[in-house]
Structure 1
């Protein structure tokens, strides 16, 4: 409250200083200007009535122009201190003008500040401040008197401001004397303010609280407020602050409740639903929040929970099947092992009985089975594939009742290149089943070409139509699912894609009666990396 009073007092001081500075500026313009002073000197020297009248009209015109251009200037006139008379007034003067009766705010050799007091302007009836400055004229004791205008200090002494404020004003001159007082019972006029209160900026005297602000000219303005009014104002502010605080607390509590109901509680339900993804069954009932967005999230969470439970059940089934497959895998591992041991026994019996052809057949079959039934994760090379292919062709030459020749041409640099297991045998097997007959011929070649291997399997058999080639290369063709009609080619194509991706290629060239050629292009770098 005290800070508000001090702030208002500073605004009042600024308003009053601006008004007096404006009077000072206008007085300087007239007191030291050449035009008006020159006319006053001419008027004093002129004796002819008509010429004097003309000069007086010019002086009034000059004063009217200045008065019109400065709306904060009120009564303006020249005062002759020797004769006690005034002239060239711009408004009607009320009563008898006596400068010595005016309350002095500050007094200097050539200028004096007065106020506040009731204006001598007959057009208004309000408090004004004024200035009286000596005019620079030879052989004349003339002074320029200027009052503040109607609206210059209206905010200080306007009656409508008194209705809503208990504040009263004191004006102290530059010597600290009370020149004007609105509280004469506590702060009488013409008494030094320091006798009643300290020289501080604020304090308490009697039943009044006062604030003081000093101007640059030395005079001061003091705001006086009854202490009971100040306490009443404090209580009013306290009540207002309490009401505002309680209202804010109520609004904050209300919004907190709304936030809890619309956000926190649904989020809590959503949090519980997330935590219960594994602990609860998806068929349990879901609590709704009656908020569409949260209910939708809960619904989606419930759907996700159902999918998770389905995955759990699927995993359980797969785990059970995996256990069964482990048993089956052991059985499948036992059977080939038993078969190869049996063939090994047959090999030794044939060797002991001198059955060299049977011995060679069983030995080739044992080697071929050992290679083809190896683990899929084991590394194989082009050399391993060629050796397995030789064993396979040797078995087939004994099996079939027709004769065919085999020619192999393999680049030695390619023997150690990694490649998928069981890659060449299906292609040769397809040629034997569907192409080669008596006096047949099969060529198997591996050629190193820069960063790829070119594998060629060629026969001179019956060949095939383009439609058959398309069916062999088409994974979705129904004919390719028939036994002996492309199962091996389908395996080769898929193992190439699984091992090399798009970097490997398989091409089949054939004509009826002219044989068939199958070419595989295997990337060396890609094959090494993938394998």
Structure 2
């Protein structure tokens, strides 16, 4: 029994420990890896990092192309050239400089100068598509130091299927020529696989400094819709539920806001799945514990109850054999000893009854021996004398007749005894 109990308790302890480890692991995994909010935050951080890098790279390119920049100096020389040969040489140098930008930044889609007065590019044929002036109507997210950072949009310089970020700046060169510098870098908004292992359908939203959506691939969030308050500080997050989507926003250090949205039902589904798993583990652990308790009850309490009933029955005088075998050797041995004790008690009671009967028989025979005819005759004489002393005539006469009857019977018995003796002689 000791070994069984130790085994059961060890099993319960190991099961509880295993359940605690599983629950802790699941909770840790949810907190660190599978938390929807954490995944959204990591995805948002990655997008904002890529977007900031794209804007900073384009600002650097615009600086190179502006007056006083490496490429801007070549542009000044081209604009200052008088004869056709010099213009040809300077144009070739400018083309080479612009083409070299693509080697420096492989994500660069294109960079060009646009002449608003003549409504054409300064150097044509540098990109897949020719700029046509529509870039001025693009939604803006931040304007700083003359740089206009525009929201994500379809490319104007490359394939229209590409989504790009762009920066535009209006500059004036040494000869008074006003040009617009326009650059595009491919937007990297893909969800990393290590972040989105579940394959959730995240949608990207970009807003300006006021929190107004300027780009959205979400089916219910449209451009121009006010989403977030202007009070959201740089480097801070905000989560809200709108139009059936859980939206998390982050304000970049540059001032614009990036946001990712996930259907609210998926968000709650993940939480509900985690709660269901936790509940299932708790229920299974409770069932195992309950089965262990039930088994311990059947193994210990039932034999103890049987032992208690046996003691009560013995106390009530019921000594019949009612032993039931159990799976515990200790209890079976104890119950066999109880049955042996019951047999011993029964034998002791039987012996005491027989002894009491023998004593009663001896006492009866002794009493019979003491009560002989002469004793009876003397007793009747005493009664008659007491009746005469008390003047009880009826009693005295009644006792007198009993004495005569007894004397007659004694004489008759003695005569028979003498005849018997004579006959035997």
Q: TM-score, normalised by structure 2?
A: 0.50
Alignment deviations for residues 399-446 of structure 1 (CA, whole Å, 9 cap, x no partner): xxxxxxxxxxxxxxxxxxxxxxxxxxxxxxxxxxxxxxxxxxxxxxxx
Alignment deviations for residues 485-527 of structure 1 (CA, whole Å, 9 cap, x no partner): xxxxxxxxxxxxxxxxxxxxxxxxxxxxxxxxxxxxxxxxxxx
1:44 is the counterpart of 2:75? no
Instruction: Answer whether contact 2:47 2:189 (CA < 8 A) is retained.
Output: no
1:229 to 1:87, Cα distance in 2 relative to 1, 3 A: farther
Deviation at 1:41, TM superposition (A): 2.4
Q: Which residue of 1 aligns with 2:118?
A: 83
1:94 to 1:156, Cα distance in 2 relative to 1, 3 A: farther
1:201 is the counterpart of 2:235? no
Alignment deviations for residues 469-490 of structure 1 (CA, whole Å, 9 cap, x no partner): xxxxxxxxxxxxxxxxxxxxxx
1:219 is the counterpart of 2:256? yes
Choose which of 137, 142, 146 in structure 2 pairs with 1:106: 142
1:191 is the counterpart of 2:225? yes
Q: Which residue of 1 aligns with 2:406?
A: none
1:189 to 1:163, Cα distance in 2 relative to 1, 3 A: farther
Q: Distance in 1 between matches of 2:276 and 2:58?
A: 44
Q: Distance in 2 between matches of 1:122 and 1:50?
A: 31
1:15 is the counterpart of 2:36? no
1:154 to 1:178, Cα distance in 2 relative to 1, 3 A: closer
Alignment deviations for residues 144-183 of structure 1 (CA, whole Å, 9 cap, x no partner): 111113xx5152699xx89932211211112222111223
Q: Distance in 2 between matches of 1:167 and 1:154?
A: 10
- What's the C-alpha RMSD, in Å, of the aligned pairs? 3.6
1:167 is the counterpart of 2:197? no
Where in structure 2 are there 5+ consecutive unaligned residues? 1-35, 290-425
Q: TM-score, normalised by structure 1?
A: 0.41
**Bigger relative contact order, structure 1 or 2 (CA pairs below 8 A, ≥6 apart):** 2
Choose which of 203, 210, 224 in structure 1 pairs with 2:247: 210
1:126 is the counterpart of 2:162? yes
Deviation at 1:54, TM superposition (A): 1.5
Deviation at 1:58, TM superposition (A): 0.5
Q: Distance in 2 between matches of 1:136 and 1:14?
A: 32
Q: Distance in 2 between matches of 1:239 and 1:51?
A: 77
Q: Distance in 1 between matches of 2:161 and 2:252?
A: 26
Q: Which residue of 1 aligns with 2:402?
A: none
1:54 is the counterpart of 2:89? yes
Q: Distance in 2 between matches of 1:217 and 1:123?
A: 28
Q: Which residue of 2 aligns with 1:231?
A: 268
Identify, as 1 or 2, the structure richer in helix. Answer: 2
Instruction: Answer whether contact 1:114 1:131 (CA < 8 A) is retained.
Output: yes
1:204 to 1:121, Cα distance in 2 relative to 1, 3 A: same
1:59 to 1:136, Cα distance in 2 relative to 1, 3 A: same
Pairs aligned (count): 245
